[in-house]
Chain A
Amino acid sequence: MSRNALGLWTMGVLSLVLVFGVPAIVETFALIDFTLFIAMAILSLSLAFVWGFGGILCFGQSAFFGLGAYTYAVAVINMGESTVPILLGILLPVILALVLGYFMFYGRVSDVYLAVITLAVSLVFYYLIGASAGEEYKIGSARLGGYNGMPSVPPINVPGDPSAAVEYEALYVPAAVLLAVVYFGLRALLASDFGRVLVSIRENEARTELLGYDARRIKTVALAIGAGIAGLSGVLFCAWGAYVSPTVFSLVFTAQIIMWILVGGLGTLTGAILGCVLIQYLATWLGETKIADVNIVLGAIFVAIVLLVPSGFVPMFARLGDTLTRRRGEAGS
């Protein structure tokens, strides 16, 4: 069996365990925590795709995430039913990404300049929503609430039945299923023609264009796909905590997403999930035990990884595993 097929089977089994096994053995309280990790892992996957495979260093993934969360909050408060708000929470970030992608990629903005633009966009949201504290800032019956955020956002419900809420531990299974769908969906996408062209653009944009592919269009679409996934994650986050505030657009949150990817490794999807869970868990643990300031530890890890393990942990272990199996193969023959 090739390594790829082996990995696919492993992840398949793991996701079955995640969906069916974990709820059976884990306590309710922990399950609620896990749901948050899953929502964040979906966000991590979205940036892993855009940055790791599209080569687009987007410092504004939190803008898509936050837009998804706020869209869901506003729409569900107004509609009282969650199906359409969820879809809107995905659709609006996609539209924003298409507009931004057209603006940036068709203007041939790249690299660090692209990072600045995406960062600026998420800060525009941060300031604007932060300034919406007054009574007059509401959309329909939903008050935006400025830096205090929007409390008491209604939970997700079974489609078509607003009285059947899916909240607390019940949100876990749908979230886990969504994580698996996003993960395998992205793998399928990367195995398709589109995915291959996207990776080749990351490797060499000029050469890919000379082969007749429109890099601008493909990068725009990739950004939009990543934005939709980030929006979905935002919806889950907002429904999970029944709350959203402008901190989702802040620089600190953006740094965190980038760190998940760096820890797991650029160019792997599995690594993005692992990196996210690892860092989130560490941050929560440090926050509870107060052994050391969270920022000191995370900052030191951040620096150490860039300097010492620039490829991230999953690719490093994969290479290590390859070397070991090859040695064993040589010894056996």
Chain B
Amino acid sequence: MDLAVVVVIQILYAVASLALISIGLAIIFGMMGVINFAHGEFLMMGGYAFILSYNAGVNFWIAMLVVAPVTIAVIGVVVERLIIRHLYGRVIETVLATWGLSLFLIGLAATVLGYHQKGVNPPFGTIRIGAYQEGGYTFFVIFVTLALMAALYVGFKYTRWGLIARGTMQNAQMASGIGVNVDRVYATTFGIGAALSGLAGAILAPIAGVLPEIGVTYVVKAFITVIGGGAVALAGTGAASSLFGAVSQAVTFLSRPVVGEVALLVVAIVLLRLLPLGITGRYFRRGL
């Protein structure tokens, strides 16, 4: 019984962390049709922003929940102005340009901060479940992810800004025709996506640590989750990360972590063969 509870918690955690690392990328892809391959480095920089400001004496929660997302949002807006803006409508070119950016940022981080791994201890200690122990921080990650998804849903569905953003996504020309500043909507959306990536990087930093190259481990999973989910950002990420996270965590339990990673990739390959436009290409098409 205790084991079953632990297994369920672990699977929930796998799903939540997958959704957390993917959501920033998903919003940018779903809203703007742009694949940001430097996404992993946004997470990496979020992690650094958090750890460096925490070490400099900023309060733990402010460093994580405010400093990291705001810093990365600013960087995101700059990247949008300098690079992404010139490549709208050309998915492959944006992938390539941001891939170059990702190399650049890895090199920059390595030069400035060095190759040593930085980390902080996760708060909350451990919680006993019968004969097992579970880190309290695990629950925090699951909770934050749920809260974030809910906030995004409300933001896009019920606010004036969300309405404008969705309208621009559906038909940018029409939106522009009725007086929406499309450029600004794109820049803001990209900034929000970047902020979410920075936040995700900061939240995962106590667990995974931060290294200049850590983005590489995030970006492929996020990329696969987002493409597997399809163009509808929230529903797609939710569905794809539930599927991939559950499968990979379940397989990890039955054998070992590597086989879990491989299972995730194999499921993604088969999924894209069956649903070439991702899950939301067929289901939840009217979702958000």
Interface residues in chain A, defined as those with a beta carbon under 8 Å from any beta carbon in chain B: 57, 103-104, 107-113, 115-117, 119-121, 123-124, 127-128, 130-131, 251-252, 255, 258-259, 262, 292-307, 310
Q: Does the CB pair A107–B99 fall under 8 Å?
A: no
A23 vs B92: C-alpha distance when bound (angstroms): 40
Q: Does the CB pair B87–A251 fall under 8 Å?
A: no
Q: Does the CB pair A306–B87 fall under 8 Å?
A: yes
A113 vs B83: C-alpha distance when bound (angstroms): 23
CB < 8 Å neighbour of A116 from B96, B108, B224, B261? B224
Q: How many A-B residue pairs have CB under 8 A?
A: 128
Interface residues of B: mostly helix, strand, loop or mixed? Answer: helix
Q: Does the CB pair A110–B107 fall under 8 Å?
A: no
Q: Does the CB pair B273–A104 fall under 8 Å?
A: yes
Collect the chain A residues with CB atoms within 8 Å of residue B205's CB: none
A28 vs B216: C-alpha distance when bound (angstroms): 38
Q: List 30 A-B contacts (CB under 8 A).
A: A57-B92, A104-B273, A107-B274, A108-B276, A109-B272, A113-B278, A116-B223, A116-B228, A117-B268, A117-B269, A117-B273, A119-B220, A120-B224, A124-B265, A127-B258, A251-B219, A255-B99, A292-B107, A293-B111, A295-B104, A295-B106, A295-B110, A296-B103, A296-B108, A296-B111, A297-B107, A299-B100, A299-B101, A303-B83, A310-B93
Collect the chain A residues with CB atoms within 8 Å of residue B93's CB: 306, 310
For residues 93 through 128 of chain B, which have their beta carbon under 8 Å from a beta carbon of chain A?
A: 93, 95-97, 99-108, 110-111
A306 vs B104: C-alpha distance when bound (angstroms): 14
Give the shortest distance, in Å, between B180 (CB) and chain A (any CB).
27
Q: Does the CB pair B272–A112 fall under 8 Å?
A: no
Confirm or deny: B86 has a beta carbon within 8 angstroms of a beta carbon on chain A.
Answer: yes
With contact pairs A116-B227, A293-B110 given, residues A107 and B100 touching in the complex (Cβ less than 8 Å)? no
Confirm or deny: B91 has a beta carbon within 8 angstroms of a beta carbon on chain A.
Answer: yes
Looking across the interface, which residue of chain A has its beta carbon closest to that of B112?
A293
Collect the chain A residues with CB atoms within 8 Å of residue B268's CB: 116-117, 120
Confirm or deny: B16 has a beta carbon within 8 angstroms of a beta carbon on chain A.
Answer: no
CB < 8 Å neighbour of B96 from A127, A262, A294? A262
Looking across the interface, which residue of chain B has its beta carbon closest to that of A119?
B220
A104 vs B86: C-alpha distance when bound (angstroms): 31
Q: Does the CB pair A300–B272 fall under 8 Å?
A: no
Collect the chain A residues with CB atoms within 8 Å of residue B95's CB: 112, 115
Q: Does the CB pair B92–A120 fall under 8 Å?
A: no
Collect the chain A residues with CB atoms within 8 Å of residue B19's CB: none
